[in-house]
């Protein structure tokens, strides 16, 4: 690695996040320029999923531990958003159990996003202190238990959450540029973390926990850091989701949503940031196209009605086919980066990849 070419080093290091961000920016420009408001709205939903799945990737991708708990952080944040941004008169009616200072509060949306994200991160910290002592399947099940706990608590605390049913009245009007900003933020944070010392240490624990501990890496610490960071980013996604729909319920962040987010990550490529983004885009686009098919269509002069559930059936079937064809995910464990010719023989990161791919195994990113 030559120290006299700092610019190229910088380019090599941040190529993945810059390219992914530019790709999203280009898509958004295209959508706002050409597409109907309806399609733009779909774009917003997809970008929120990008924030969520990239948040999930920060922990799952680097630690190799499947987490079922991250939608719990989204729940925490979505309800915090409701507490901070709903009109006080409405809160007094719907959520009478809230303390006075929250009842009267109505925060600007940016501050509310930060605050609810931080609250989600705090819950991640409090639960992670226990759960991150575990590894492997035990950790996965502990996060599943956490999700069930959060869901039970929020679904039954009627006075502050409105209970099992939907809570409406969260101010909407989320623009696509705001969401794009948060998606880029999530990608940059994820990439900086993945290539930082803590991120690499976590990956080494994933590859070989015993060897990593023997090298002096404290698994608990690096796991906890990634867990809290990803809890924060998933919290941001929860906030955006609440502001996008204006209506939230505990079950909209439960097991089904959890598995869908995990599916997006794994279909894309579990150990790759590029894969996380690719998985979201692939599944979201497939869902949008197929959902349009439902209802009745004209076919050779006959009206054929396609029953509800057909679209989701086809998506699930397509997902199974995709997993059989590419068990490592759409992009495997590679990352998109600049072609080696542009970077010169700068470091092994670039020289290992023939055309715009790198690898995430520990030796190669070091």
Burial profile 190-213: b = 16 or more Cβ within 10 angstroms, e = fewer: bbebbbeebbbbbbbbbeeeeebe
CB of residue 44 vs other proteins: minimum separation in angstroms? 24
Tell me how far apart the alpha carbons of residues 135 and 221 are, in angstroms, rounded to a whole number. 12
Among 214, 299, 309, 354, binds other proteins (CB under 8 A): 309
CB of residue 209 vs other proteins: minimum separation in angstroms? 7
Q: Interacting stretch for other proteins, rule CB under 8 A, among 102-110, 111-119, 235-243, 321-329?
A: 321-329
CB 231 within 8 A of CB 259: no
Smallest CA-to-CA distance from 263 within 286, 293, 297 is with 286
Among 300, 302, 324, 354, binds other proteins (CB under 8 A): 324
Q: Interacting stretch for other proteins, rule CB under 8 A, among 27-35, 229-237, 242-250, 264-272?
A: 264-272
Smallest CA-to-CA distance from 51 within 178, 196, 151 is with 178
Q: 309: how many CB neighbours lie within 10 A of its CB?
A: 9
CB of residue 310 vs other proteins: minimum separation in angstroms? 6
Task: State yes or no: residue 290 binds other proteins (CB under 8 A).
Answer: no
Contacts by residues 310-313 (CB-CB < 8 Å, ≥ 24 positions apart): 311/287, 312/287
Among 224, 234, 240, 262, binds other proteins (CB under 8 A): 262
Count residues near other proteins (CB under 8 A): 45
CB of residue 9 vs other proteins: minimum separation in angstroms? 33
Residue 253 gets which letter from DSSP?
Answer: G
- Which stretch of DSSP H or E encloses residue 302? strand 302-306
Among 2, 104, 152, 341, binds other proteins (CB under 8 A): 152
Task: State yes or no: residue 149 binds other proteins (CB under 8 A).
Answer: yes
303 versus 355: smaller Cβ distance to other proteins: 303
Task: State yes or no: residue 320 binds other proteins (CB under 8 A).
Answer: yes
130 versus 177: smaller Cβ distance to other proteins: 130
Q: Which two tokens stand for residue 97?
A: 């159990």
CB 237 within 8 A of CB 156: no
Q: Helix or strand or coil: residue 191? A: helix
Query: What length does the chain have?
Result: 366
Residue indicated by tokens 């869901």:
151
CB of residue 255 vs other proteins: minimum separation in angstroms? 7
Which 89-148 positions form the footprint of other proteins (CB under 8 A)? 130-131, 133-138, 141-142, 144-146, 148
- What are the percentages of helix, strand and coil residues in the chain, rounded to 5? 70, 5, 25
Burial of 8 (0-12, 13-18, 19+ CB in 10 A): middle
CB of residue 65 vs other proteins: minimum separation in angstroms? 8
Task: State yes or no: residue 42 binds other proteins (CB under 8 A).
Answer: no
CB of residue 172 vs other proteins: minimum separation in angstroms? 27
Task: State yes or no: residue 58 binds other proteins (CB under 8 A).
Answer: no
Cβ neighbours of residue 325 closer than 8 Å, sequence gap 6 or more: none
8 versus 157: smaller Cβ distance to other proteins: 157
Task: State yes or no: residue 165 binds other proteins (CB under 8 A).
Answer: no
Among 285, 313, 341, 366, binds other proteins (CB under 8 A): 313
Q: Are strands 334-336 and 357-359 parallel, antiparallel or unpaired?
A: antiparallel
Tell me which residues touch other proteins (CB under 8 A): 64, 66, 130-131, 133-138, 141-142, 144-146, 148-149, 152-153, 156, 209-210, 255, 259, 262-263, 266-267, 270, 307-310, 312-313, 315-317, 319-320, 323-324, 327-329
């Amino acid at each position: 690695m030559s120290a006299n070419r700092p610019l190229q080093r910088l380019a090599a290091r941040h190529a993945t996040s810059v390219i992914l961000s530019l790709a999203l920016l280009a898509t958004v420009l295209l959508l706002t320029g050409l597409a109907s408001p309806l399609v733009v709205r779909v774009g917003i939903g997809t970008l929120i999923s990008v924030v969520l799945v990239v948040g999930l990737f920060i922990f799952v991708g680097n630690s190799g531990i499947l987490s079922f708990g991250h939608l719990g952080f989204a729940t925490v944040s979505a309800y915090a958003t409701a507490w901070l941004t709903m009109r006080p008169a409405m809160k007094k009616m719907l959520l009478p159990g809230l303390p006075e200072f929250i009842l009267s509060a109505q925060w600007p949306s940016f501050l509310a996003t930060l605050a609810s994200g931080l609250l989600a991160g705090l819950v991640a910290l409090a639960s992670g202190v226990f759960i991150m002592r575990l590894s492997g399947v035990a950790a996965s099940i502990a996060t599943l238990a956490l999700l069930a706990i959060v869901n039970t608590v929020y679904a039954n605390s009627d006075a502050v959450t409105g209970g099992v049913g939907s809570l409406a009245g969260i101010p909407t009007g989320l623009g696509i540029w705001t969401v794009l900003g948060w998606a880029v933020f999530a990608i940059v944070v994820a990439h900086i973390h993945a290539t930082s010392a803590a991120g690499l240490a976590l990956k080494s624990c994933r590859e070989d926990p015993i060897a990593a501990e023997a090298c002096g890496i404290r698994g608990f610490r690096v796991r906890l850091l990634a867990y809290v960071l990803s809890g924060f980013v998933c919290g941001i996604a929860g906030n955006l989701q609440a502001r996008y729909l204006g209506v939230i319920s505990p079950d909209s962040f439960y097991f089904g949503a959890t598995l869908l987010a995990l599916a997006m990550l794994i279909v894309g490529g579990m150990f790759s940031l590029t894969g996380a983004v690719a998985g979201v885009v692939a599944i979201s686009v497939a869902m949008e196209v197929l959902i349009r098919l439902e209802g009745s269509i004209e076919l050779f002069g006959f009206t054929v009605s396609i029953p509800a559930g057909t679209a989701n059936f086809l998506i699930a079937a397509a997902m199974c086919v995709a997993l059989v064809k590419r068990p490592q995910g759409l992009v495997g464990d590679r990352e998109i980066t600049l072609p080696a010719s542009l970077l010169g023989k700068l470091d092994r990161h670039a020289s290992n990849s023939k055309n715009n791919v790198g690898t995430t195994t520990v030796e190669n990113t070091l």
